[in-house]
Amino acid sequence: MNSESPPLPSWNRRRVALLIQTATDWSRQVLAGIARYADKLGGWDFYLEPRGLDQRMFLPRDWTADGAIVRLTHPGLQSSIARRRIPAVNVAWLGRHSPTVPKVISDEARCAELAAQFFLAKGYRNFAFVGPRRVGYTDLFEHSFRSLVAQFDYQSFVPDPAGKAVDRARLTRWIRALPKPVAMLIWDGNLCHEVVLASLNASLQIPDQVAVLCLEVDPLVSALCPIPLSYIDQDGDGVGYLAAGLLERMMFGYPAPDEPILVPPRQIVERASTDSVAVGDPLVARATRFIRNRAAMPIAVKDLERELDLSRRQLEHRFIKQLGRTPAAEILRVRLALAKEQLRKTDLVLDTIAVRSGFQDASVFIRCFHRETGQTPGEFRKAVSVSRLLLRPPGGIAQE
């Protein structure tokens, strides 16, 4: 241990206020990560009051807290924390990082990078963004995304202020005017729902004409939407776990870090709202749908030739012109994406994953996976499984 670190006092139960709204799946993930950390150590008593997204929260006057984990969304809460002189950690993008209320947050720039890479790999060259209905918020997420696709057509839509319904007529006119096909990145699930309804009412096809990706989506909102919504998995559980670890260190007298702790997103969870590629050639679009629908089967380029009644040379020429890769490369890309999803989410043996991903056998699967990713499937799975163990403050109390 660092000789300059303050001595650790004897353990007693800590009283921690959680001023985090409970109305969204993202916030509930953060709370679950906090609970996971506390369950590992024991000895934390929580104050938590269910609240909606726009409700203001304060520290309760009749409850003595040793620390707090908060969404620092208004100056009154900042003042309340300062008066109590308790350590606190902010898990919201709103508010500034400071020595008294440091931040543990999802990495906005990495989320934007993941979204841009996702859409560019699909061949999109027209991009649009629907931002938050929040006054005074500096949207680093949009700024980062816009800079990554700056060479292409880009347009943005600002909804009406918070508390007012989205003007659907104005939204529909804006979507109609966008060049198609367009890749749309949207702030949250509620706005995604509005975009999907506006697009369908304008007789636009999702995802072939309008592909919709959410920064954050609630499973219930997605279930109520006519089209299942793709979204960025920001690892809210990891944010909560790290925030709890940092708060514990601060309650023991350790200083806050100089910079915010940024938690990278896990992945993009793709559903029907983006399950397409942006191509102007209808035959290539048809071919990519064929590949996507049969990726788990032992298909080959010759199957595409028969399906489309094209020669291999014609097929490769059109694929390279539209996507910058051959049909064989597209088949492999889709298969590897399918395999990675199974490596992340299941304990299936490699033989089974190989078959379910369309590979001839496990040896071919392992060889292709290593060539394309630089890792074996086992190394990839291990890296995913230990990622949460790495989401903790260096030298955390639990290890000392």
DSSP codes of every residue in 327-366: HHHHHHHHHHHHHHHHHHH----HHHHHHHTT-SSHHHHH
Question: 3-state DSSP helix/strand/coil percent for the chain, to nearest 5?
Answer: 45, 15, 40
In this structure, is the dihedral angle defined by the CA atoms of residues 388, 394, 397 and 400, taken in order, positive or negative? positive
Residue 174 has pLDDT above 80, yes or no: yes
If you average pLDDT over each of 26-40, 68-82, 124-138, which comes out highest?
26-40
Whether residue 234 contacts residue 240, with contact meaning beta carbons closer than 8 Å, is answered with: no
The pLDDT value given to residue 363:
93
pLDDT band at 203 (very low <50, low <70, confident <90, very high): very high
How far, in Å, CA of 200 to CA of 223, rounded? 17
The reported pTM is: 0.73
- Torsions phi, psi for 48 (to 5 deg): -145, 125
How far, in Å, CA of 329 to CA of 300, rounded? 11
Under DSSP, is residue 175 helix (H, G, I), strand (E, B) or coil?
Answer: helix
In the chain, pLDDT over 90 holds for what percent of residues?
Answer: 43
Of residues 23 and 357, more confidence is placed in 357
Mean pLDDT of 217-237: 88
Residue 50 has pLDDT above 50, yes or no: yes
Digit-coded pLDDT (tens) for 234-266: 999 999 999 999 999 999 899 999 999 999 998
Whether residue 285 contacts residue 304, with contact meaning beta carbons closer than 8 Å, is answered with: no
The pLDDT value given to residue 14:
84
- Cβ neighbors of 187 (< 8 A, separation 6 or more) are 130, 131, 132, 214, 215, 216
| Alpha-carbon dihedral 328, 334, 335, 338, rounded to 10 degrees | 180
Cis peptide before 7 (omega within 30 of 0): no
In the numeric block, the tokens 């918020």 are attached to 137
Digit-coded pLDDT (tens) for 122-167: 889 899 999 886 655 667 899 999 999 999 999 999 887 655 678 8
**Which stretch of 166-180, 181-195, 268-282, 344-358 has the lowest confidence by average pLDDT?**
268-282
What token pair was written down for 59? 């520290």
For the chain, helix (H) and strand (E) counts, in that order, are: 15, 12
Domains in the chain, start-ordered, CATH in brackets? 14-106+236-265 (3.40.50.2300), 108-234+269-274 (3.40.50.2300), 282-385 (1.10.10.60)
Strand partners, 127: 154, 183
The pLDDT value given to residue 324:
82
What token pair was written down for 46? 């929580």
Q: How far is CA 374 from CA 122, 254, 328, 364, 382, in A?
A: 22, 39, 19, 15, 14
Mean pLDDT of 21-42: 88
- Cβ neighbors of 357 (< 8 A, separation 6 or more) are 295, 296, 335, 336, 338, 339, 342, 365
Mean pLDDT of 338-367: 90
What token pair was written down for 348? 């299936």
213 CA to centre of own chain: 10
The pLDDT value given to residue 95:
81
The pLDDT value given to residue 396:
33
Residue 381 has pLDDT above 70, yes or no: yes
Average pLDDT, the chain: 84
What token pair was written down for 254? 């350790």
How far, in Å, CA of 322 to CA of 319, rounded? 5
